[in-house]
Amino acid sequence: MSAEDEAIRRDQEERLLQAWKTPTGWRYWSEVNNTQVGLWYMAAAFSFFLFAGVLALLIRVQLAFPDNDFLSADKYNQVFTLHGSVMMFLFAVPIFEAFSIYVLPQMLGSRDLPFPRLSAYGFWCFVIGGVFVCGSIFFDAAPKGGWFMYPPLTTRFQEGLGADIWLLGLSFIEVASIAAAVELIVGILKCRPPGMRINLMPLYAWYVLVVGAMILFAFPPLIAGDLLFELERMLDWPFFDPSRGGDPILWQHLFWIFGHPEVYIIFLPSVALVAMMVPTLARTPIVGYSWIVLAAVGTGFLSFGLWVHHMFTTGLPGISLGFFSAASVAVAIPTGVQIFCFLATLVAGRVARTVPMLFVSGALAIFVLGGLTGVMVAIAPFDFQAHDTYFVVAHLHYVLIGGMLFPVFAGIAYFYPLVGGKMLSPRLGRIAFWLMFVGFNVAFLPMHFTGLRGMPRRVFTYPEGLGFDGLNLISTVGAFILAAGVLVFAWDVVRPKGRQPYGPRNPWNAGTLEWLAEVPPDKPWGVRSVPVIESRYPLWEQPDLVRNVDAGRYYIPDAEERKRETLVTSVLDAEPEECLRLPGPTYLTIAAAASTGGVFIFSTFHWWWAAAVSGLLGLATILVWLWTGTALVPEKPWKDVGMELELPLYRSGPESVGWWAMFITMLGDSTAFASLVFGYFFYWTVHDDFPPEGAGPDLAWPAVAAVCILGSWLLTLGARSWNREGRGTAFTVALGVAVVLAVAGAAALLIAPAGLDPTSHVYPAIVWVLMIWAALHVGLGVVMQGYVLARRWAGRLTAEYDIDIRNVALYWHFAAATAGVTVAVVAGFPLVG
Amino acid sequence: MALRIASPTGAVLVVLVAACDGPQSALDVAGDGATRIADLFWGMAAGAAVIWIGVVGLAVYATRVRPGEHSGRTAKLLLIGGGVVFPTIVLTGLLSYGLLLIPELREPSDGRLIVSVTGEQWWWRVRYETADGRTVELANELRLPVGEAVEVRLESRDVIHAFWVPSLAGKIDMVPGRVTRLSLKPTRTGEFRGACAEYCGESHALMAFPVAVMEPAAFAAWLEDQHALAAPPSTPETERGARLFMAMGCGSCHAVRGTAAAGTIGPDLTHIGGRASLGAGILVNDVDAFARWIAETDHVKPGVRMPAFGMLAESDLRALGQYLESLQ
Amino acid sequence: MVKSPRLRDSLWMLIAAPTIWSLHFLFSYVTAAVWCAKLAEGASLGGARTAVAMYSAAAIAAIGAVAHYGWRRHCQETRHPHDVPTSHGRQRFLGFAILLLAGLSAVAVVYGALPAAFIASCH
């Protein structure tokens, strides 16, 4: 390399460094880059894991002996509720999001995810909501209804704010999860390196794609359920109160439509980790790449047909149980395929004995047993006995600890060098593994028998002489051994490593792009240049890749304008489409998270004014964020990205990442709406007269609403075209009228049920919810219409640069459909029925 | 059970069986439903053990015994044979068997005896309804005739509970606003224990009930006795207890048929002295336990609706206990 | 960059077979649930079982068509491996994945039909 080249390279690096520099001092926390946010996210999720682990030990101490009084019944109920909720909502799902935010861009040879500020916002929401929920136990105010919160126990038979803290705190976090899902899906579809066609994607990306989609369809039903639940608690709308037409079983449906996919949302990313580690550790490409994709996609679908297996004992008709039993059994097939893909890869390769391999083997041994007991409980008759007993406690811990915790620990041991360039201690790793493996089995294997001997779950104590005593004591001993292993591992992770030398670059000799990471890891730009990919294992099969990446011979090796940039490519074949400008550090995300968090937290305490102010602040912050940080008109239309390629700096419509984000978000939103509609028809099936005779809103107002909203939607679409044609006046007039029509439509939606008292019966309550839901969507549509009007006046939206109006039009498709379906159900169905 | 230990397998079996007995064990069976399910369990458990050993053995072989490379063809065969064909065949068989079992376990019994059980925080209201149309309300205890199918109707007055007698059959939830059902067919006499299986609040752990399976004749006699009015107090001590019972207002929540006490909020006490336990399966039935229950109710069962009568003198508590104990 | 719609289709085809399974599952479940809640005379499942059988036949036929599509994709091209960095490789991969998912979905549909074969009442 000539001296001139060397000088150019140094200048490029200097500029990249300026663009990607992590702020220092207290400004550090304004960073939004995936590396920092991912690290914080992982650290926070692990803190919650340790907290919930301590709760687990409290549970085990209480249950060590019969009739123990270490914890009172009330305290115990808080502890086990929080243990389950924290492990599921604050550790198992977020750790996957955290890790994906951290590593996915590196796996895809990308500089960052497409919406860094959204990741940061999600993280801050997560921390605020998590601390709020966990903190409640120190005030003796923790939720105590179990992590499944079954009404009517939690709606009418428990004192205190616990249930509100659970509902509002965790709803808030679910929003953050959905944000992360949108981010990750778009990242995988649109931010792969050139040449990384869909058949060359790392398996991790396949899994995250599937899991992201699952989150979109699984979390919204719970959010819908939470909404109904909170309305019952705060306003006495009787959704789950049988004395006024409600039905507690509806909550169970909504909860488990979320709750079972949730298990796979937790499990699949961990399998994805294994799918990344096994080929490296066995030194051979994965056997059955397509089979794993089959398994991931298949599991994603089938997992939505399992939810009633949590309700096998609710007295549903046998045939209903049969359908869900069948799907629960069917899902074992793709799960088995994955395991055999890994086994086959191990057989085909030459396996190195390392700490990650040890944890993967342990995971396999544990998970397979959990899977087998899973098939047992999928057979409905056996579940009649096993359900709600310690057998299920054993089963679910075998599945989650074998299927999630051990792979995650393997992943930490494996990926740790990416973070600081240093390796974990193999000796401590082995000690931790054996403590954890032995401790786990000592703790949980006996529980199968405890359960079959008749010990129900969620009991704060048990009497002597039923055969539970010895088994429980053994379990407690095992739990402490397991905890000791976790502590050893945690110590290895956090112990100071100042004097330990850096490990080699790509220490495991892996084949995938994340191992391009440089050692020492002091380069915040992710990859020096974005490579062209021609293989599933580019570091194995593309000679000189590392050298060329480091020398800046691929795409975007420079940051001439000192701006953060990454490549956007096409969905199937990863052809370069756009050079995407990414936003830099900001406090807006923290402010937005704090103010949206305020809405939920203040509502918990019924401080309505504070909540309203907080909500307005949140809306304002988000508008400022959008206004200053998104859809920026670039200083030039095209940019040279290296390798003799020029790419546009701005794209709108389906080629833009923003359009996909809107589309995906609205899919999730529609799922929540569909859940509410499901609720309406669910009540129809349980009642002989639904809607009750003569109870419905008349046809007139709903019809007015439908016409107005339809008009507003069409005018918005018109505005989109007129903007493109440069007809500014038509654009302004159309949107102006659209705003008026939308406001009128929303008002008509809310006037329609005005005569119905939602506390009197579930029918008016569900009608009101549907109407409010639709009206809120139309209202948000009005804000958007106003926003694009302002953008156009300010010159930030032009005929050429029109992301905003196209995304708003896309939103309006969904909003109009929501309103249309609402009117059809509320006003139309009574005519049919 | 006389098992001769002839092999390590036998020894393991003995340990397993020993780890499975107990009054509340789903594997220590005494009813039709439980028997079918226990058989299903043992079959599945044996299969699961074999599969687990196979899979883990394979992993150990690949990573420890012969960690060298094998041909891609071997690997592919393993994937398709072990990961696809074998599980599909096994699962199809198992699913079919499970589905066939569902109607059998869910079939209503044509039983002449109907028992309605209502779950309440944290006790069981029990009502027997015989073919002749007579009903009687009891609480916190279930007695059944051996060999006869009994239809159990389940309801709840407050939150969701689940009715579960592991030795007899699987569990079914008791859902407010719905009536669920279960049929029980005991196959041998004995004493068993049922419990609430659905988390139902603070004292969920303390919601159990004794179950007795009796010879039909003994059962008929017992049920006949339950129809009878309460025995009047026969000693000065029980008489004092009876007076205290009325004076303290116990009768506004509890019924003692044949007296002025006709409350329906709490359990019927007409024959409480004859029950196998107190407080929904949590205390032995004796005078001391009565005294303790009455004085420290909320301590014995946290969150319970019945107020504690800790202000009563020890002698009063004993008198109450003696009276209640006399209600055989 | 213009892509031919034919190629764009195939990512949606990947989820076609499992989507058919989802619809089959949903229809079967809803039919049985509504039948038992609203229509059943006594406790007989009668018509609901016929309906499930019809859904199953339709679903299997549709999945067969998807499988055929995947098979064609997979075998149309010369026998490249799936991981070559060309659109042929990508197409062969997607074809094979579509085929596998069709297989899994077919098994799941058959499983979903079994309850209607074995269970005759609403109890």
* Res. A472: pLDDT tops 70: yes
Residue with tokens 């996919």: A261
Question: What pLDDT is recorded for position C9?
Answer: 53
* Res. C2: pLDDT tops 80: no
Question: What pLDDT is recorded for position B17?
Answer: 67
Residue A161 structure tokens: 């704010």
* Res. C6: pLDDT tops 70: no
Distance from C-alpha of A685 to C-alpha of A665, rounded to nearest angstrom: 30
Enumerate the residues of chain B whose CB falls inside 8 A of the CB of residue C123.
103, 106-108
pLDDT band per the 50, 70, 90 thresholds, residue B1? very low
Sign of CA dihedral A706, A707, A710, A715: negative
Residue with tokens 């126990």: A153
**Is C123 within the bounds of a domain?**
no
Tell me which residue in C8, C111, C123 faces A317 most closely, judged by beta carbons.
C123
Residue A443 structure tokens: 């703790």
Give the nearest chain C residue to B180 (CA atoms).
Answer: C123
Between A136 and B7, name the one with better pLDDT: A136
Enumerate the residues of chain A whose CB falls inside 8 A of the CB of residue B21.
453, 467
Distance from CA of B172 to the nearest CA of C (A): 13
Maximal C-alpha separation, chain C:
62
Number of separate domains in chain C: 1
pLDDT band per the 50, 70, 90 thresholds, residue B70? confident
Residue A727 structure tokens: 């007809």
Question: What pLDDT is recorded for position C79?
Answer: 65
- Name the least confident of B8-17, B178-187, C48-57: B8-17
Across the range B201-212, mean pLDDT stands at 97
Question: What pLDDT is recorded for position C7?
Answer: 47
Q: State the fold for domain B22-68+108-217.
A: Immunoglobulin-like (2.60.40)
Give A616-627 pLDDT, tens digit per residue.
999 999 999 999
How far is residue A760 CA from its own chain's centroid?
A: 37
Give the total residue count for chain C. 123
Q: State the fold for domain B236-325.
A: Immunoglobulin-like (2.60.40)
Contact A687, A245 (CB under 8 A): yes
Q: What are phi and psi of A160, to 5 degrees?
A: 90, 180
Mean pLDDT of chain C: 87
Phi-psi region of A173 (alpha: psi -120 to 50; beta: other; left: phi over 0): alpha
Across the range A202-220, mean pLDDT stands at 96
* Res. C74: pLDDT tops 90: no
Mean pLDDT of chain A: 95
* Res. C4: pLDDT tops 50: no
pLDDT band per the 50, 70, 90 thresholds, residue C85? confident
- Name the least confident of A257-266, A365-374, A733-742, B70-79: B70-79
Q: What are phi and psi of A564, to 5 degrees?
A: -75, 130
Span(s) in chain B for CATH 2.60.40.420 = 22-68+108-217, 236-325
**Is C2 within the bounds of a domain?**
no
Distance from C-alpha of B260 to C-alpha of C93, rounded to nearest angstrom: 82
Residue C81 structure tokens: 């491996």
Give A690-722 pLDDT, tens digit per residue.
898 877 788 899 999 999 999 999 999 999 999
DSSP conformation letters of B13-61: HHHHHHTT-STT-SSS--BHHHHHHHHHHHHHHHHHHHHHHHHHHHHHI
Distance from CA of B246 to the nearest CA of A (A): 30
Give C13-27 pLDDT, tens digit per residue.
999 999 999 999 999
Q: What are phi and psi of A640, to 5 degrees?
A: -80, 120
Is A157's CB within 8 Å of B121's CB? yes
Is B37's CB within 8 Å of A382's CB? yes
A113 class by beta-carbon count within 10 Å (0-12 exposed, 13-18 middle, 19+ buried) = buried
pLDDT band per the 50, 70, 90 thresholds, residue A286? very high
Across the range A51-58, mean pLDDT stands at 98
End-to-end Cα distance, chain C: 59
B113-120 and B150-156 strand pairing: parallel
End-to-end Cα distance, chain A: 80
Residue A404 structure tokens: 């999630």
Report the complex ipTM: 0.95
Question: What pLDDT is recorded for position C3?
Answer: 40
Across the range A430-450, mean pLDDT stands at 97
Is A350's CB within 8 Å of B27's CB? no
What subunits touch chain C, counting only 3 or more CB pairs under 8 A? A, B
Is C111's CB within 8 Å of B88's CB? no
Question: What pLDDT is recorded for position B64?
Answer: 81
Q: Domains plus CATH for chain A?
A: 689-832 (1.20.120.80)
Distance from C-alpha of A547 to C-alpha of A538, rounded to nearest angstrom: 13
Question: What pLDDT is recorded for position C80?
Answer: 66
pLDDT band per the 50, 70, 90 thresholds, residue B5? very low
Residue with tokens 């669920």: B180
Across the range B65-83, mean pLDDT stands at 84
Give the Cα-Cα-Cα angle B240, B241, B243 (nearest 5 degrees): 65
Amino acid at A228: L
DSSP state of C1: -
Q: How big is the A-B interface in CB pairs under 8 Å?
A: 281
Give A477-521 pLDDT, tens digit per residue.
999 999 999 999 999 999 999 899 999 999 999 999 999 999 888
Between A817 and A520, name the one with better pLDDT: A817
Question: What pLDDT is recorded for position B16?
Answer: 67
The residue segments making up the domain with residue C71 are 18-118
Sign of CA dihedral A404, A406, A407, A412: positive
How far is residue A748 CA from its own chain's centroid?
A: 35
Across the range A167-175, mean pLDDT stands at 90
pLDDT band per the 50, 70, 90 thresholds, residue A265? very high
Across the range A27-56, mean pLDDT stands at 97
Among C49, C110, C123, the strongest candidate for a mutation testing the B interface, having the largest count of B CBs within 10 A, is C123
* Res. A449: pLDDT tops 90: yes
Is B99's CB within 8 Å of C107's CB? no
B142-145 and B208-214 strand pairing: parallel
Is A199's CB within 8 Å of C111's CB? no
Question: What pLDDT is recorded for position A415?
Answer: 97
Distance from C-alpha of A788 to C-alpha of A802, rounded to nearest angstrom: 9
Question: What pLDDT is recorded for position B174?
Answer: 98
Residue B291 structure tokens: 């005294």
Residue A507 structure tokens: 């220490």
**Is C22 within the bounds of a domain?**
yes
Give A142-159 pLDDT, tens digit per residue.
999 999 999 999 999 998
Enumerate the residues of chain A whose CB falls inside 8 A of the CB of residue C112.
305, 323, 326-327, 330
Distance from C-alpha of C53 to C-alpha of C44, rounded to nearest angstrom: 16
pLDDT band per the 50, 70, 90 thresholds, residue C81? confident
Across the range B11-34, mean pLDDT stands at 84
Between B90 and B131, name the one with better pLDDT: B90
Share of chain A above pLDDT 70, in %: 100
- Name the least confident of A379-388, A519-528, C28-37: A519-528
Amino acid at B268: D
DSSP conformation letters of A704-752: HHHHHHHHHHHHHHHHHHHHHTT-HHHHHHHHHHHHHHHHHHHHHHHHT
